[in-house]
């Protein structure tokens, strides 16, 4: 009897172990996990990660926090590939070197060939459109007469029309496609957004009796994200002498409005009494920030 119980127990353990291994190595395998289906064609977590690896920081970190944005780009690319193949476009392998190419490079070649043919005819630009544009933006033409400004205006209008046609085409592709996104899985792979300071942190800093450097920016702003490592370093270097804060203007819109923020990033320097003494609109290098801090009497 004991032997029988032992055998049954052993079988149960083996079965559970097998189920665990199947779940972990098969179902949990990134190549098996589907993020989206586009006209019944899969986009897996593995494919998503490969595309993510191609992107440099800080954009890569932004995509990690909002993976839906990168996924949407992958979906559009797949739709273009599907449409190109439907229209008979392909890139045959003709040489040994071609056979060694990454399949994604071949896919991009198909898409490029398809798009070049589809948008091969330049949009027409009428004389009336050029004259209307010139009249509207005459003050910005640096005194150039219409005849001299015409080539640049024509090129600008043509490119704008090309972009409009492209967006319209992509919009139609997307709306006519059958796209299913695994929202729960997409949420699971999203990383936590970069933290910023609160309005309360800002108010406390102004009353601390120490100088304050505040970066009014946003997580979605590339120059803002590029400055984050610099500000983090400065926060450590000036720890007891000054406060270095990051305020997200979209979270604290009223605060941004109170301080007249019109462009991000905007860096504002406050003295020890909480009075603004300098501001810089746009990204600012570490050397220039340190130089400005020294000007107001703060050294690391």
Domain boundaries, the chain: 1-30, 127-174, 199-295
Q: What's the mean pLDDT when you consider all of the chain?
A: 88
**Residue 277 banded pLDDT, cuts 50, 70, 90:** very high
Catalytic position from the list 221, 230, 234, 242: 221
Q: What is the pLDDT of residue 239?
A: 84
Tokens 């909480």 found at: 274
User: In angstroms, rounded to a whole number, what is the distance separating the alpha carbons of residues 56 and 147?
Assistant: 44
DSSP string, 188-213: HHPPPPPP-B-HHHHHHHHTTTS-EE
For 105-122, write each residue's pLDDT tens digit.
Answer: 889 999 999 999 999 999
Give φ, ψ of 49 to 5 degrees.
-65, -35
156 is catalytic: no
Tell me how far apart the alpha carbons of residues 11 and 141 are, in angstroms, rounded to a whole number: 84
Compute the Cα dihedral for 169, 170, 174, 177 and give only its sign: positive
CB 194 within 8 A of CB 61: yes
Longest dimension (CA), the chain: 104
What is the rounded distance in angstroms from the CA atom of residue 118 to the CA atom of residue 139? 37
**pLDDT number for residue 86:** 95
Q: b/e string for 259-284 if b means 16 or more Cβ within 10 A?
A: bebeebbbbbbbbbeeeeeeeeeebb
Mean pLDDT of 207-211: 94
**Residue 22 — very low, low, confident or very high, per pLDDT cuts 50/70/90?**
very low
Q: Helix or strand or coil: residue 260?
A: coil
The pLDDT tens digits of the residues spanning 156-198 come to 999 999 999 999 999 999 999 999 999 999 999 999 988 899 9
Counting other chains too, the contacts that 126-129 makes at CB distance below 8 Å and 24 or more residues apart are 129/157
* Alpha-carbon span 9 to 101, nearest angstrom: 52
Does the pTM surpass 0.75? The reply is yes
- Is residue 35 within 8 A of residue 182, CB to CB? The reply is yes
Asked whether the predicted pLDDT for residue 95 surpasses 80, the reply is no
Is the pLDDT reported for residue 18 higher than 60? no
pLDDT of 297: 79
> How far apart are alpha carbons 196 and 219 in whole angstroms?
9
Is the model's pLDDT at 26 over the cut of 50?
no
Predicted pLDDT of residue 139: 92
Q: Say whether 228 is catalytic.
A: no
Instruction: Assign 121 to helix, strand or coil.
Output: coil
Burial class, 34, CB count within 10 angstroms (exposed 0-12 / middle 13-18 / buried 19+)? middle
For the chain, what percent of residues have pLDDT higher than 70? 85
Distant-in-sequence, close-in-space partners of 58: CB < 8 Å, separation ≥ 6: 222, 225, 226, 228
Q: Is the dihedral of CA 115, 55, 73, 163 positive or negative?
A: negative
Q: Which of 224, 227, 231, 245 is catalytic?
A: 224
Domain 199-295 fold: Glutaredoxin (3.40.30)
Tell me if 225 sits within 8 A of 61, measured CB to CB: yes
If one compares 81 and 8, the residue with the highest pLDDT of the two is 81
Nearest CA to 48 out of 193, 185, 184, 219 is that of 185
What's the pLDDT score for residue 53?
96
Once rounded to an integer, what is the mean pLDDT over residues 43-71? 96
**202-206-208 Cα angle (round to 5):** 110
Does residue 208 have a pLDDT over 90? yes
Question: Mean pLDDT highest for which of 87-101, 229-243, 246-260?
Answer: 246-260
């Amino acid at each position: 009897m004991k032997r029988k119980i032992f055998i049954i127990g052993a079988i149960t353990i083996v079965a559970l172990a097998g189920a665990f291994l199947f779940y972990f190595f098969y179902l949990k395998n990134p190549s098996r996990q589907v993020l989206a289906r586009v006209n019944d064609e899969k986009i897996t977590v593995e494919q998503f990660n490969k595309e993510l690896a191609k992107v440099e920081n800080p954009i890569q970190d932004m995509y990690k926090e909002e993976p839906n944005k990168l996924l949407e780009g992958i979906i559009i690319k797949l739709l273009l590939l599907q449409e190109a193949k439907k229209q008979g476009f392909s890139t045959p392998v003709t040489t040994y070197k071609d056979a060694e190419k990454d399949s994604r490079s071949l896919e991009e070649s198909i898409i490029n060939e398809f798009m070049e043919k589809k948008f091969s005819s330049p949009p027409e630009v009428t004389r009336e459109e050029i004259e209307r544009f010139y009249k509207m933006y005459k003050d910005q033409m640096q005194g150039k007469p219409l005849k001299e400004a015409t080539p640049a205006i024509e090129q600008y209008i043509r490119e704008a029309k090309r972009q409009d046609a492209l967006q319209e085409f992509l919009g139609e592709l997307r709306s006519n496609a059958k796209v299913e996104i695994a929202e729960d899985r997409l949420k699971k792979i999203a990383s936590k957004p970069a933290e910023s300071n609160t309005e309360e942190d800002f108010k406390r800093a102004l009353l601390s009796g120490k100088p304050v450097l505040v970066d009014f920016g946003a997580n979605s702003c590339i120059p803002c994200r590029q400055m984050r490592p610099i500000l983090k370093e400065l926060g450590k270097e000036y720890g007891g002498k000054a406060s270095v804060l990051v305020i997200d203007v979209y979270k604290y819109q009223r605060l941004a409005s109170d301080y007249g923020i019109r462009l991000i990033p905007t860096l504002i320097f406050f003295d020890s009494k909480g009075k603004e003494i300098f501001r810089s609109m746009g990204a600012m290098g570490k050397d220039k920030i340190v130089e400005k801090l020294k000007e107001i009497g703060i050294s690391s």
